[in-house]
Amino acid sequence: MSPVRDLALIGLEVPNKLSVILGHILPSTVSPRPTTRLLRREQSLLGTEARVLRLLRQSAVPCAPSLLHYDPRDTLLGSAFLVRQYIDGSTLQELESRLTSEDRRELDRQLGLLVNMIGQHTANSFGTLEQVALGSGTRSWREAFLVHVESILRDSEDVFVHLPYAEIRHQVGRLAPVLDEITSPRLVICDFGRPSTVLLDPVSKQLVGIAGFDSALWGDVYMGEIFEDPSPAVLDGFASRDIDCEPDLIRQLLYDRNPILLIEDEDMLMHRLGMPVTVQFTTSPFNTTARETRQPKSKHEDG
């Protein structure tokens, strides 16, 4: 009998985060009911996580929980339902202040190794895991990325978030040709490295688990959040050179989580490349805030 049926038979209400099944605490996720309006990317989150967990389990990637149950159309709950293995640990967000510099270097090296292992999974086209599985992925990373960005912008427009949309679309389109250098679709977990998705043993400070699998897609492995400002130990674990050439920096600017920085950070990018700033950008109400809260990226000191 499936875990979902076990829950139903003993009359337990399924919460958003945890379910008690046969005496074990198991993280579970339930999709909102069909009548709930979702953002575009939210419509396939559980399916994406299930596909990723199956892939990682098949290749024995460490620190990834096992997928115990996934039902895309559970009739009892009325929504998709996923249960994964419980990993006992505390998040990096909770423990970061207690890590020594040596602890942090070792953790970064392990994360670099892990993101490399995950990136060894490849597909024959770019796009979301659902698109590629259904044969509707694209041969071009530029095309897939533009679709991804457009869905985010349209979601923001739908809920009346005030952003300079025309300028953002212009800058993304202008810089997008550099994405054509990415020709191999690799599995990337976009939230990988975010402190809230990294689980550590609270005593040994060793890496024991990761989360955030619903942010995965087939694309450029450097789109992972861990590469926004990678430490030398991350790059050493990943077995990669530093991210400092012009195409790399432009791609990192495109991948940044804050789209307003496409407008704000181009002058910083040109300065790092030793190039004159010749392009003038329009301003927005967010410019002052972005400049005050965003500091230029610098390489971590490895020591």
Whether 71 and 110 share a structural domain? no
Check residue 280 and give its pLDDT: 32
Please write the tens of the pLDDT for every residue from 61-118.
Answer: 999 999 998 888 755 556 778 888 989 999 999 999 999 999 999 999 999 999 999 9
Q: Is residue 126 part of a domain?
A: yes
Q: Is residue 12 part of a domain?
A: no
Confirm if 105 and 209 have CB atoms less than 8 A apart.
Answer: no
pTM given for the model: 0.76
Q: Is residue 16 part of a domain?
A: no
Check residue 302 and give its pLDDT: 46
Check residue 262 and give its pLDDT: 60
Whether 43 and 132 share a structural domain? no
Whether 78 and 126 share a structural domain? no
Whether 63 and 210 share a structural domain? no
The domain total for the chain is 2
pLDDT under 70 in the chain at which residues? 1-43, 74-78, 258-303
> How many angstroms separate the CA atoms of 130 and 2, rounded?
24
Domain boundaries, position 58: 21-84
> How many angstroms separate the CA atoms of 298 and 300, rounded?
6
Given 55, 84, 113, the domain boundary residue is 84
Please write the tens of the pLDDT for every residue from 43-63.
Answer: 578 899 999 999 999 999 999
Q: Is residue 66 part of a domain?
A: yes
Whether 126 and 46 share a structural domain? no
| Closest-CA residue to 183 (of 126, 256, 243, 145) | 126
